[in-house]
Structure 1
Amino acid sequence: MFNTAKKTARDEAQRLISGHTTLVVYWALKQAGVLDAMANSPDGIAPAPHAAATNMAEDVLVALIDYAARQNLVILKDGRALLTPNARALMTHEQGTLDFLRAQQPIVESLEHLLARLKTYGNGVFRRGDALAASQNQRYPAEVFPAIETLLKKNHCTHILDLACGNGELLIDVATRLNNVVGVGIGSDGAAVRNANNAISTHGLEKRLIAVTGNVVDVATDTRRTFERIGISTALWQELNCLVLVNVLGEWVLRSPETVQKVLAGFAKNFPKCCVVIAEPTAGPRLEKNHHAAEFELFSRLAKYPLYLPEQWQRILADGQQRVISETPLTTDGITLFVTKPM
């Protein structure tokens, strides 16, 4: 009985997410003139060349058309995109479609905002953060945070440096469950760091946790000077025995692979006694178990956040002088948790 109800809820969630996202993608393509171009061409259009006539980067347009094809709005044939009868029906009832979008604005505004930023900034850095951080904070506590806590306990980690602390959710969750843990969170966003410290105070954890503003690359490569600037003592530096990176490295893999190697090598040099816990969404069957798999893939492509296979991540980590000592597969976003130590 429970399993049937759970499956029904999952199917309904998938239908709603898919439906809302499909309408947003449809409207983005419509506003860019792509759907009209398809409608006026019996043979369809070639997406990549057509990008020059739109206000979108080529990779954004191709990602949107690929998603539209998955949702049966577009047919891809011989490198060209043609409208399906479903898309033509939507075009016939555009006002109703727009009214529906407006009614569902609280749900779809994050994707609309992301698409607007993509049009404005092209290949801007860290595009993914604004669109996905809030939803990750809701999805991760159920599976990802407990899995990280299990690894911290297994590897006897008591002094933690969270290199992407956000609003402090992970640090607070860990410190609440593991009483022997103290931690420092590093964040690049001053407002988020203030939120993290306020949340730490609310939970009465000021004696064990603190968040400070800093940069991951500086922490890894210019550790002493960076720690002196942000107030981390040499004594605490020497006591650190674990670094945590949740959705950090993937930001750089495509646009700056040398940064990934620099950061990982810096960890090996400046934190030789620390194990490193790395969480990254990965491609493969586990990702497909998520009811938002298609939409997550679209977000990742738009934000240039690659979905690599776990074995590809192993090679990336090895190139950065990190030896993988354990690998934990999770279902949420297809995440794989890697624990590494310097070679």
Structure 2
Amino acid sequence: MAQQVIDRPVFDYMQAYVTCTVISALEKLGALDQLAEHGVVPAELGYEEFLGEATFRYLAERGIVRQEGNRYVLTKSGRHLYDERGYLLWLAGGYGEALNSLDGLLSRKQTFGTEVDRDVRWVAVGSALVGEADLRAEVMEILGGIEFTTIGDIGCGNGHFLIDLCRATDAKGVGFDISPAACAEATQEVERAGFGDRIDIVQVDATDVDSVPHLENIDLVMAFFFMHEVLELGHDVLVDYLTRTCERLPAGAYVLTTEVAPPTQSEDTAEAFGPEYVYTQALMSQRLMNAEQWSAAFTEAGFQVERIVEGRLPGSRLILVRKPLA
């Protein structure tokens, strides 16, 4: 007998919420990679027994995994979800607690950055996974047209994307991140990949450009989903930040940044990601700019805008700028 189709969107929202939370939790625990590689046996993961089995049974009921004996493996749709898990980790892992405190923030009973905050580690790692999945093709096309020897990755997360780019381009790398946990994980991943002699990981608050080491020796800075963190402090602060960055970089150095533009609010355009992204940034009173506004800020700071490329990530723009040779 065919299952009855229940046309009640509220249950779709419930399913999406629980699935997002479960996938994020399993990624934090490192179980998703195991699941993708060879499947998992819940009893062997060391989780609370009843809840562990219930977790994978739920994913099976939602068509994300299937059971083969006592082992669970990804289905085709589960594989697609795994490939794009960065979005779910970024949202549930990075902003989950803040969104759960929305009532306190709206009523002014709580303040973001004091009683409520995001988890910068999972924001960084999720963003890196998103970049690796949805921006790599465009990034590699752009990098294929320029020359560089050392990549500085601001907000490197777990370092996977930086490792991938250094492997593909034979460049050296320096990863910067504010999260001690993300830096520790990135250092482990660098060593595991055999890149300990080519990539350094530095814990630093990169919104203070004067505290970022090695810029004088870096000829390609990557800053994905980072510059709006500086914009939060004010447009004048952003231009000053970019100006001081330009002053410290060697002549001819490049900066490749990626930002998500504000939604167009056009009835003819379906916004797949922009409204959710903009809303999470509103938790921190952050405003976003479009590609033209970013180009103007870089130009005011002394850079030359080389290219603007539309990314696969909905609403994203990759902006390549260069410090003049003379």
| TM-score normalised by the chain length of structure 1 | 0.58
| Corresponding position of 1:5 | none
Unaligned runs of 5+ in 1: 1-11, 22-106
Counterpart secondary structure, 1:216: coil
| Corresponding position of 2:221 | 243
Larger Rg: 1
Q: Given the alignment, which residue of 186, 191, 201 partners 1:201? A: 191
Q: AA paired with 1:151?
A: I
Taking the aligned partners of 1:133 and 1:202, their CA distance within structure 2 comes to: 20
C-alpha RMSD of matched pairs (Å): 3.5
1:278 aligns with 2:268: no
Counterpart secondary structure, 1:337: strand
1:136 aligns with 2:127: yes
Contact 1:164 1:186 in 2 (8 A): yes
Q: AA paired with 1:150?
A: E
1:155 aligns with 2:146: yes
| TM-score normalised by the chain length of structure 2 | 0.61
> Number of paired residues?
233
Q: Given the alignment, which residue of 288, 296, 304 partners 1:307? A: 288
| Corresponding position of 2:300 | 319
The verdict on how the C-alpha distance between 1:214 and 1:270 changes in structure 2, with shifts beyond 3 A counting, is same
Deviations 1:15-70 (A, max 9, x none): 5489649xxxxxxxxxxxxxxxxxxxxxxxxxxxxxxxxxxxxxxxxxxxxxxxxx
Q: Percent identity?
A: 17
User: Pairwise mapping of residues 33-182 of structure 1 onto structure 2 (< 5 A)?
Assistant: 111-115=95-99, 116=101, 119=105, 121-124=110-113, 127=117, 130=120, 132-178=123-169, 180-182=170-172
Contact 1:296 1:333 in 2 (8 A): no
Deviations 1:272-315 (A, max 9, x none): 42111111111356996563443333223223332322112112
Deviations 1:241-293 (A, max 9, x none): 11111111101213333331222111221114211111111135699656344
Taking the aligned partners of 1:243 and 1:281, their CA distance within structure 2 comes to: 18
Counterpart secondary structure, 1:332: coil
Deviations 1:76-120 (A, max 9, x none): xxxxxxxxxxxxxxxxxxxxxxxxxxxxxxx96865511328736
The verdict on how the C-alpha distance between 1:110 and 1:328 changes in structure 2, with shifts beyond 3 A counting, is closer
1:266 aligns with 2:244: yes
Taking the aligned partners of 1:331 and 1:205, their CA distance within structure 2 comes to: 29
The verdict on how the C-alpha distance between 1:250 and 1:217 changes in structure 2, with shifts beyond 3 A counting, is closer
Taking the aligned partners of 1:184 and 1:334, their CA distance within structure 2 comes to: 28
Taking the aligned partners of 1:166 and 1:326, their CA distance within structure 2 comes to: 25
Q: AA paired with 1:114?
A: A
Taking the aligned partners of 2:271 and 2:192, their CA distance within structure 1 comes to: 33
Unaligned runs of 5+ in 2: 1-8, 19-90
| Corresponding position of 2:276 | 295
Contact 1:289 1:331 in 2 (8 A): no
Counterpart secondary structure, 1:259: helix
